[in-house]
Copies of this chain bind each other. A is one copy, B any other.
Amino acid sequence: MFIEIDFNSDEAIYMQLRNRIIMGIATSEIREGDSLPSVRRLADNIGINMHTVNKAYTVLKQEGIIRLDKRRGAVIALDINKLQALEDMRRELRIILAKGRCKNITKEEVHELVEELFVEYR
């Protein structure tokens, strides 16, 4: 999986990393059971500090996306709590849709966007 970091972004490096890995799972670039690189190797590859990678992995663990295993490293292990996931998504969508509403974005346009984005995930 190719990982690119924008050091000029206002988004924290560990969050960019977390987002990239979530995208990788959603697009099936990586699958349940696959191992991610060790914190040290990935840090070296990208050219960042070990702790920054560790922080991204810790967030993903907290979110129930990976399982941290000694020796096997970080393993994709999806802990499916759908009610929790729907609640999280609802809270995040709420603000984004409200802003769109201020900009006259219609319900239909949001549906189209969702359709369009879901093409990536299969």
Contacts and interface: CB of A to CB of B under 8 A. Distances in A.
A85 B100 contact: yes
Interface string A79-122: 01110011011101111111111111101011101111110010
A113 B99 contact: no
A45 to B, nearest CB: 22
Given A113-B90, A113-B93, A98 B82 contact: no
Number of copies: 2
Contact of A94 (B81, B109, B117): B117
Contacts of A63: 99
A78 interface: yes
A96 B102 contact: no
A98 B122 CA distance: 11
Interface of A: 19, 22-23, 25-27, 63-65, 78, 80-82, 85-86, 88-90, 92-105, 107, 109-111, 113-118, 121
